[in-house]
Amino acid sequence: MTQRVEPVDALIVVDVQSAFVTGGGAVPAAGRLVDRTTDLIARARRDGAFIAHLQNDGPPGSDDEPHTPGWELHHPVAPGPTEVVIRKPYDDGFEETALGTVLTDAGVRALAVCGVMSEMCVQATARTALALGYRVVVPHDAHATQDIPAAPGIAEAVPAATVSRVAAYALGSDAETTVPAAAVTFTAPSAS
């Protein structure tokens, strides 16, 4: 039997863009990540939760430079009052974006955060959500990153799975980080 957690009323899908989940630049666990995020999105839609797809605007020449194939969101979006795309210029999905406003306007109180990269945009967005008083769930199998290459004379390479685990662990005990995506349940936000 899969453990269940208290329902969340929003799903934040962080930077699940073509450059990070397809082709040679994909994170090592891209297949698993896409499976988990596909399922989370489907269940969030079914249960009426608010969904925000964050889309990183990378610098010129990067794999996620705006309006290039790698910048495109991997998952289809069903735009409407409960599903939005928010472009972001920084790791933190709240910094200089409308994310905080749309979550407040929707009456969101608890959210699940999934996507890439674990130690950058996922962690930064989850950390700000915690600071703003949201209950935050970061399913351990629904975020991913790249391996950290070795630094000769300093450290050996760090596998992506270890980097992801440490990134979630560093959020502290206020975030729920040891539950699998399958344990996340959703509900519609209640009006403020």
- Which of the following is catalytic: 103, 121, 175, 179? 121
Which residues fall within 8 angstroms of residue 170, CB to CB, at 6 or more apart? 123
User: Do 140 and 165 meet the contact criterion of CB atoms below 8 Å apart?
Assistant: yes
- 114 catalytic? Reply is no
DSSP 92-128: STTTTSSHHHHHHHHT--EEEEEEE-IIIIIHHHHHH
- Residue 60 backbone zone (phi > 0: left; psi -120 to 50: alpha; other: beta): beta
* 3-state SS, residue 27: coil
Give phi and psi for 56, each to the nearest 5: -75, 135
- Provide the sign of the torsion angle of the four alpha carbons 5, 83, 170, 172, taken in this order: negative
Distance CA 135, CA 112 (A): 8
Distance CA 36, CA 31 (A): 9
Active-site residues, by number, are 121
